[in-house]
Amino acid sequence: MRRIFIYMICFASLVFGGCDLNLEPENGVTFDHYFQEESDCNALLRQMEADLRVIWSAVTFHEHMGLLTDRVYNAASIEKVRNLDPNYLTDRAKQQQWKPYYNVITNTHLLEENVGRVPNLEKKRQSFYLGQVYFMRAACYFWLSRTWGDAVIVKSSSYIDRYEKSPAVEVIDSAIANAKRAYRLLPRFDKLRDLNNKALVSKQYGSRGSAAALLAHIYAWKGSVQKNDDDLRASVDWASRLIEPQYQDSVGVYTLAGSAEEVVTSVMDRNSAEGIFEIEVNYADISYYGLFFPGSYFVSYPVMRNSGKNDITTINYGLYRSTVLNMYEEGDERRDAFFYALDSAGMNTADLTYLYKWRTPRYESSGSSIDFKGMDCNRVLMRLADIYLLRAECEAKLGMTAQAREDLNAIRGRRKANLFPAGKNDDGGSDLQYSIFLERERELLFEGHRYYDAVRNGYYGQNSRHRVLPDAFYNLTDQDITEGALYLPVPQMAFNDNDLMIQNAYWISKMR
């Protein structure tokens, strides 16, 4: 049974291998003899979790575009991505692909369609698998919509016709509908159990808390790009379920780290009380992760074994000391927790700073050599400080100034920073929304949020009030943005044998 079931999983994934997404007829192959026991459902669930781990253990083009950096060294491809180089971004061999997301989405349909066929499976266990299905599907559609805008909405695991793209707002609405289903079906994180009734300790699994966090982000994105106050209010409501004490019995208990040092040693490690949604990094399953989150591109001395101070000059990205001193005022704990020996004159190498936010490299022996495998920590996608500041952003946009200030200062107070509007870059409190953006930049430094933060706040285009992205984004006209310049081009593979697929207008104009 196990060998056959592995074939079934592979078949379900490989239906994307030929045309459009690429769904192919089953040619008479059905799953009537599978899904006869819960272990079959669990095997497919674990496969989907592994696929998600692969998706989110790579730094995306948008994450590179959004990185705060003063220099890019010896990395022509990164420069091209950050400069919106059309020849590079539309090159079939170099494009970021959406196929891995659709592999997961198709398998979510496969499990949804068949979990009810397992004999004697308790309703509680059915709800667990369906909740995971809806959570994964929601996350995939959210990432697809932010990355490509218009995208395909899959009908079922066995749909064999060609697909056309749906408008971005419909993709977002699909993410919302699935996340709400997940929220209704899933328990709190501490109540999650596997098929042997053992506690699930990985925060990669969907829970009621992670579904609420996902909904807070989805609604914040939709409300910002669609300029809809009702969606912004919905984001505030979902964020509140993770923050306000009255929801803890239902949603779960999440707490802010008590200090910046705790952010480094606990939150950036794995499965902390602040972490809500994380990608589980397990070197027993995958032996090499490499640079799997944005901050890993900045890590050098003293974290890396056998590194020296001067090695900081040869890594891909770098932040100047003057930049960091301008970001974090004296007394802000993050200065010393996130950066090594920032105020030491002996550590001033080419005015570059030594990132210290991640400190646990993984090495393994291979013959006579010791090889770097990646950082030994989870990738934290959503955490409570992120949710506080996301709520503050939406409150500021809604004119809820007092509430936005309170949420902003909840984070600043934890970090021993000056409270708004007395912060170093608050400009006397004249632009609360921008102060919140800068606080997300400080607190969530190199965690992968900054590009989407900039887009939600409208910090792009020729008329932008603030320049926080690479220069290419401030050459974009309103027409460029309307035609899809902020999204990636549809991957060329999606056009194989599919005359319904179309490229977005901006990138078509660059491909001629």
DSSP code string of 403-472: HHHHHHHHHHHHTTPPPTTSSTTSGGGT-HHHHHHHHHHHHTTTSS-HHHHHHHTT--STT-S---S-GG
Q: For the chain, what's the residue count? A: 512
Helix axes 2-14, 99-114, angle to 10 degrees: 130
The pLDDT of residue 497 is 81
What does the alpha-carbon distance between residue 169 and residue 279 come to, in Å, rounded to a whole number?
26
Residue 282, φ and ψ in degrees, nearest 5: -130, 110
> What H or E segment, with its residue span, contains residue 375?
strand 369-375
For the beta carbon of residue 357, count every other beta carbon within 10 angstroms: 21
Report helix, strand and coil shares of the chain as percent, to nearest 5: 50, 5, 40
Helix axes 2-14, 38-55, angle to 10 degrees: 40
For the beta carbon of residue 447, count every other beta carbon within 10 angstroms: 22
Bridging pattern class, strands 71-72 and 317-318: antiparallel
3-state secondary structure 15-69: CCCCCCCCCCCCCCCCCCCCCCCHHHHHHHHHHHHHHHHHHCCCCCHHHHHHCCC
The pLDDT of residue 23 is 36
The label of the residue with tokens 């013959």 reads 367
Burial of 268 (0-12, 13-18, 19+ CB in 10 A): buried
The pLDDT of residue 20 is 42
With a cut of 50, list the residues of the chain below it in pLDDT. Answer: 1-20, 22-29
416 DSSP β-pair partners:
none
In a 3-state reduction of DSSP, which class is residue 355?
Answer: strand
The pLDDT of residue 284 is 85
Parse the chain into domains and list their residue ranges. 294-377
352 Cα distance to chain centroid = 27
What does the alpha-carbon distance between residue 449 and residue 314 come to, in Å, rounded to a whole number?
25
In a 3-state reduction of DSSP, which class is residue 340?
Answer: coil
**Residues whose CB falls within 8 Å of the CB of residue 45, separated by 6 or more in sequence, listed in order:** 111, 129, 132
Closest CA to 384 of 486, 249, 251: 251
Conformational region of residue 222, where left means phi above 0, alpha means psi within -120 to 50, and beta covers everything else: alpha
What does the alpha-carbon distance between residue 460 and residue 478 come to, in Å, rounded to a whole number?
10
What does the alpha-carbon distance between residue 340 and residue 349 come to, in Å, rounded to a whole number?
12
The pLDDT of residue 11 is 41
